[in-house]
Chains A and B, each alone.
Chain A
Amino acid sequence: MAEIHLEQLAHSYAPDAPERVYALQPLDLTWQDGETYALLGPSGCGKTTMLNIISGLIRPSEGRVLFDGRDVTGEDTRRRNIAQVFQVPVIYRSMTVAQNLAFPLVCRGLPRARIRQRVGEIAELLGLSTFLKRPARELTADQKQLISLGRGLVREDVSAILLDEPLTVIDPQMKFELRKKLKQINEAAGVTMVLVTHDQNEAMTFARTVIVMNHGRIVQSGEPQELFECPATEYVGTFIGSPAMNFLATVPREGRREVPDLGLGLSVPKGEDARSGTWTLGFRPEHVFAEGDGWPLRGRIRRIWFEGVEQVLEVEAGETVFRAKLDHARVRTGESVELRIAPERLALYRDGQRVGAGYD
């Protein structure tokens, strides 16, 4: 187990090209020992590249990787003692389930009795005990993925477990179980886990810290609640949450930016010029409510759909369209409504970046 520190790390797959294209922009990042992290972002944003650099499958073109302060940038994968689970299960077809699970320990030359004991424990934990003698290739895809995972867990001294979208091949019910299991293992063994995913729910329910990436850059990192409540950029607001956060176009008015159709606006923080740049007013559909104290949002309902037991209303007011997520409003398409929002839930974004603390 180790604290992992990425120092001025950057990677380009074609470092000799005249104009460097980075798969991973220069970044600094520390992963604390025993924590759970999620790397969230669209395909091709550099998540997998970052994992492969940590496990040593890729040498970074710039920067250093430190485990507990020890520079491992030049070290082979096998010396780093990292477990990694890939998107598709990788198993050793010629071996039985037990041999698969034992393999990392056999490679390290542990005594036989100890290996047998560990394999038994891990198989028990993952519910693979009854399959131990079966050839691994005969199992189903999710069982194979459990084997991949088990090979990571079987080492007690593993530095970290990197999970590269491991739940993609697994059916939804099993996914939930497995996520729970991973959490349990993290709590029991205190091993650092990093989950790469493009599924926000997976990220938000699994990790204590979520790192949102886009175009090889870390956009925001923080606790799930924080990312949801205070997205640092429009990108994060759109990527996290369903439906996406509302970002409404604004016009300048006496040091404020206002949404003309709604008569809703915020003062621009001191030192900012309300007249330059593109400003939007952001708020979560979840923060809109039907009645009570708050600023009014008047408009006509254009569309209604359900997400679970909740209703999503698409409301138009002149040129402006926003969405609201309500428990159960007794409304119909085409009706006029007056909804409300607490002013402290509003925030201004200038050129895609959050500005100031919001309402004051």
Chain B
Amino acid sequence: MRTLYLALKYLAILLWSSFVVFPFLWALSTSFKTANGVTSGATYLPWVDYEPSLLGWESLFGGAGGINIFGPYLNSVIVTVSASVVSLVLGTLAAYGLSRFRFRAGFVKNGDITFFFISQRILPPIVLAMPFFLMLQTLGLLDTLPGLVIVYIALLLPIAVWVMVDFFNNVPRELDEMAWLDGCNPIQTFLRVILPNSLPGLVVAGMFCLIFGWNDFFFAFTLTFTNTQLLPVAIVSLNSSVTPWWALSAACLVSVAPLLLLAFLAERFLSRGNLAGAVR
């Protein structure tokens, strides 16, 4: 009975894993094909099923009819990382305040302020495109990295606040009280006691910020022209009258790589540092 259960369990895991991994394998295989290799039916194994070629990869690094991916890559890293860091810092501070201190302006209370943050993500992005465009244009920041960073902060901050408020609400208040009793002022309490215990929350919020920032196409597309191209836009620009599946596959793998790496690194923090046991 137990063996059967285990067998079924592993079968389910195996099926699900292949479902998740298959697109990557498919992309990997496709990235080494040529036009012939793609159109001549389903083939999987290089050298056996089809003759591998580096055409797709070459087109990412300045090959014929391709792009140079380094520029957009660097832009994406700069914009995503700086926007995420700023959002995380501001968002964590805001979230601690919202979690621990009582704010009140008329009928507006803490919960309403928290909701106000997240409500910005409820709007369809298209509604924001025009105002953002006009604002950046007025400020002379259209098609520049700082302009994009500002817009991305506006997009990522609600996520950081939302995740961290929820996290801080689950950090026992006794920890704050104990720090006060030990002689900390509110800032010391936050920096020395609460923050070191909040690594898992910071990792989750940071991951969300990086993923959302990295994957955004819409604002990267609407607020830039040629000077500051971000990675998703650059990848789309590969497309032409004949879809270059090989180049797109290679680009897709290149753009997913840092997120995969990040997920593996973050996973270690998440499983190690849960907060259970700070009190008790």
Contact = CB atoms under 8 A, between A and B. Distances in A.
Interface stretch (A13-21, A82-90, A111-119, A332-340): A82-90
Contacts of A56: 180
Contacts, number: 69
A82 B278 CA distance: 21
Interface string A73-87: 000111001111010
B184 A78 contact: yes
A88 B174 contact: yes
A89 B177 contact: no
Interface string B176-206: 0110111111001000110011000000000
Given A107-B188, A141-B280, A77 B181 contact: yes
A151 interface: yes
A93 B181 contact: no
B280 A89 contact: yes
B178 A86 contact: yes
A55 B188 CA distance: 19
B275 interface: yes
A167 to B, nearest CB: 15
B185 A91 contact: no
A332 B86 CA distance: 81
Nearest to B177: A57
A77 B178 CA distance: 10
Interface residues of B, number: 21
B108 interface: no
Given A104-B183, A151-B182, A92 B177 contact: no
Contacts of B178: 84, 86, 90, 148, 151
Contacts of A152: 181
A108 B183 contact: yes
A93 B197 contact: yes
B277 A93 contact: yes
A228 interface: no
B20 interface: no
A92 B180 contact: no
A137 interface: yes
A94 interface: yes
A108 B185 CA distance: 11
A31 interface: no
A235 to B, nearest CB: 31
A295 interface: no
B67 interface: no
Nearest to B188: A107
B261 interface: no
Nearest to B172: A90
B89 interface: no
A92 B176 CA distance: 10
**Which of B174, B180, B183, B188: most chain A CB closer than 10 A?**
B183
**Which of A81, A94, A137: most chain B CB closer than 10 A?**
A94
A91 B179 CA distance: 10
Nearest to A55: B181
B279 interface: yes
Contacts of A57: 177, 180-181
A86 B277 contact: no
A103 interface: yes
B175 interface: yes
Contacts of B278: 90-93, 137
Interface in A104-137: 104, 107-108, 137
Nearest to B175: A90
A86 B278 CA distance: 13
Nearest to A91: B278
A236 to B, nearest CB: 31
**Which of A57, A82, A151: most chain B CB closer than 10 A?**
A57
Interface string B153-178: 00000000000000000001011011
Contacts of A95: 196
B181 A78 contact: yes
A86 B184 CA distance: 17
A341 to B, nearest CB: 48
A107 B280 contact: no
A78 B180 contact: yes
A78 B183 contact: yes
A290 to B, nearest CB: 49
B275 A93 contact: yes
Contacts of A104: 182-183
A86 B174 contact: yes
A77 B177 contact: yes
A88 B180 contact: no
A94 B279 contact: no
Contact of B174 (A83, A90, A93, A137): A90
A82 B178 CA distance: 10
Interface string A135-157: 00100010010001001100000
Contact of B193 (A84, A86, A92): A92
B148 to A, nearest CB: 35
The 9 A-B residue pairs with the shortest CB-CB distance in the complex, in nearest-first order = A94-B196, A107-B183, A77-B180, A104-B182, A90-B178, A78-B183, A90-B174, A93-B278, A88-B280
12 contacts: A57-B177, A57-B181, A78-B181, A78-B184, A78-B185, A86-B174, A89-B279, A90-B175, A94-B197, A104-B183, A141-B280, A144-B280
